Structure 1
């Protein structure tokens, strides 16, 4: 049985909030129209989605269809008329408050929402041309949640060797007689690989599995 770390998503959100919000507050508004790794959304729309998702968690508005593509698109469209400052204020508030609500869920089903917020923060930094888009102080927490997401999705078993970790990070699940795949990468490359973000194949070594089998999102 997997041991859950209920405070891990909260730490991830708070650490990312401290790094991301000052960047967003000082960035000229015209740059928020830049395209991102999310095909249909620019920076502003990614941030609107992030803030809306966290607001739903804090306010307990978690109806059955929430976080579906249709629900996400509706939340973003609702915020199209908002001034940028209001979009950023909602995100700031959500990153500060949602971790408590996530930790309170004994089933842990919202834990990986925090991971999604962190990945989207990387998308934003990448669009802005910031170095280390999917790195920073949160890279100690994010891989653990990637492991959780990969097991919930039922991905093939992968043993990932990352710098600074004494033991391999276990991704996916076994039980089908297939030997574990082997991955060697740094944490930022792991994030890009498992979330389908652009990367260079020279930055990692993967054997026994295909790239797309590591994806944690559809």
Structure 2
């Protein structure tokens, strides 16, 4: 994978996910939004409220210190408890459309991981709805290089992953540590995403050597 930052990669991921996710959300019955997700304590509705709030904060340049900490995220979700569902979805669609160019303009790349997190949260919602493609799907080829960049920024150890469901495609993640050989992963792409994003690993099958799941987390 390329080691140089592609500033427009987050935008491509967000727009692709918009086109894939929003039709699903618009046609899903409102009662399904009360289903619990892999995010402790949050329903699908609350996850999407968080996603829209985070992206619109970027669009509107409301990025005060601590803005993406758990406490601030919880406040954003609470502020939207009385919103009708359509308003939450409209805000999310706006964020998925408009946040990418703002992220691209940040030369430090510090907001790139937000785009990856939005894609992971879309997986949380898909899984809650019982939809296929959670943490995988058509946007995976955009998410994997962004995961590679984010894993290095978050200082996770070097890992070589062989993706069994992608014809053995090999990915390189994290940073080399002197005196420590690269960890190895063999399994499907969705499970690799689950490990790095800290999502439940129930009913998964994979081999991980040379690192622990805790060491690989990019969102803490």
Please confirm whether the aligned pair reaches a TM-score higher than 0.5, indicating the same fold.
yes
Counterpart of 1:69 in structure 2 is: 70
State how 1:174-193 maps to structure 2 within 5 Å. 174-193=176-195
Following the alignment from structure 2 to structure 1, what is the Cα–Cα distance between the partners of residues 90 and 212? 40
Counterpart of 1:25 in structure 2 is: 26
After superposition, what is the alpha-carbon deviation per residue over 1:105-129, rounded to whole angstroms, capped at 9, x for unaligned? 1111101100000000000000001
Following the alignment from structure 1 to structure 2, what is the Cα–Cα distance between the partners of residues 208 and 91? 39
Following the alignment from structure 1 to structure 2, what is the Cα–Cα distance between the partners of residues 157 and 165? 22
Counterpart of 1:47 in structure 2 is: 48
State how 1:1-218 maps to structure 2 within 5 Å. 2-162=3-163, 164=166, 168-200=170-202, 203-218=205-220
Contact 2:191 2:204 in 1 (8 A): no
RMSD: 1.7
After superposition, what is the alpha-carbon deviation per residue over 1:24-77, rounded to whole angstroms, capped at 9, x for unaligned? 101111110110000021110000000000000001111112101111111111
Following the alignment from structure 1 to structure 2, what is the Cα–Cα distance between the partners of residues 145 and 183? 18
User: Following TM superposition, by how much is the alpha carbon of 1:146 offset from its aligned partner in structure 2, in angstroms?
Assistant: 1.4
Following the alignment from structure 1 to structure 2, what is the Cα–Cα distance between the partners of residues 155 and 191? 14
Following the alignment from structure 1 to structure 2, what is the Cα–Cα distance between the partners of residues 69 and 190? 24
Following the alignment from structure 1 to structure 2, what is the Cα–Cα distance between the partners of residues 61 and 123? 25
Moved more, 42-51 or 138-147: 138-147
Stretches of structure 2 lacking an aligned partner (at least 5 in a row): none
User: Following TM superposition, by how much is the alpha carbon of 1:166 offset from its aligned partner in structure 2, in angstroms?
Assistant: 8.2
Moved more, 142-151 or 160-169: 160-169
Following the alignment from structure 2 to structure 1, what is the Cα–Cα distance between the partners of residues 8 and 61? 19
Following the alignment from structure 2 to structure 1, what is the Cα–Cα distance between the partners of residues 116 and 148? 11
User: Following TM superposition, by how much is the alpha carbon of 1:169 offset from its aligned partner in structure 2, in angstroms?
Assistant: 1.8
Following the alignment from structure 1 to structure 2, what is the Cα–Cα distance between the partners of residues 3 and 132? 28
